[in-house]
Amino acid sequence: MVAKGKAIASSVWGRAWCLNLERYSHYMGRLPQGRTLLRRGAVSSLQITAGRVIALVEDERSHEVTLRVQACSEERWGMLQERCGDTVDSLLDLLQGRISASVMAVMTDFDNGLFPEPSELRCVCTCIDDADLCKHAAAALYGVAVAFDAQPELLFMLRQVDAGALVKADMTGAAAGTLDEGALEGIFGFELDVDL
């Protein structure tokens, strides 16, 4: 896994992930080293599943990094959907970042957006560095941004939310009867006032 261009990530979601990392000053010590490792191709594998990233980082020896990312809370996800409103036309547009500046601002809001805060991230590495974030974990975190370039849907999977819920057409599909009312209330985060 390597960063292709000058920036680590080139996609909207990948860049937003990097910006989210870089806003936390206590990460700053290791982030540049993480970027260097990634650029050297040290992240030899990276798997993203719901709430978890497992990466292998080669740095003299092989280190396994596990990143645990808390699920976006139902309350937060409901709020994000409300704030995005009815403006995302398709899942493809959403994943490729073809969304309005206002939707992007909602999603990347530092306090109430989709990206995890440090308290929602736990990094464990097999190295002996006892910093909150070792350089291997930093490399893995940047590797996540590169993965989002290729598969932006992984961001939503990592946060354990259904990206389709932000899309107009999918909302219609859901209301057409594929989910029961209780499930829909969970997704939309407010009480439904429609006949299903």
Report the interface residues with Zn ion, using CB under 5 A: 63, 125, 127, 134, 136
Residue 52: CB minimum distance to Zn ion, A: 17
Residue 137: CB minimum distance to Zn ion, A: 6
- Choice between 40 and 98, CB closer to Zn ion: 40
Residue 161: CB minimum distance to Zn ion, A: 29
- Choice between 56 and 174, CB closer to Zn ion: 56
Q: Residue 77, exposed/middle/buried by CB under 10 A (0-12, 13-18, 19+)?
A: buried
CA distance 43 to 34: 10
- CA-based nearest residue to 158, from 40, 24, 67, 29: 67
- Choice between 86 and 129, CB closer to Zn ion: 129
Beta strands 121-125 and 61-69, pairing class: antiparallel
CA distance 9 to 17: 9
Residue 134: CB minimum distance to Zn ion, A: 3
Residue 151: CB minimum distance to Zn ion, A: 25
- Choice between 35 and 136, CB closer to Zn ion: 136
CA distance 68 to 158: 9
Are residues 128 and 76 in contact, defined by beta-carbon separation less than 8 angstroms?
no
- Choice between 127 and 175, CB closer to Zn ion: 127
Are residues 121 and 67 in contact, defined by beta-carbon separation less than 8 angstroms?
yes
Longest CA span, the chain? 62
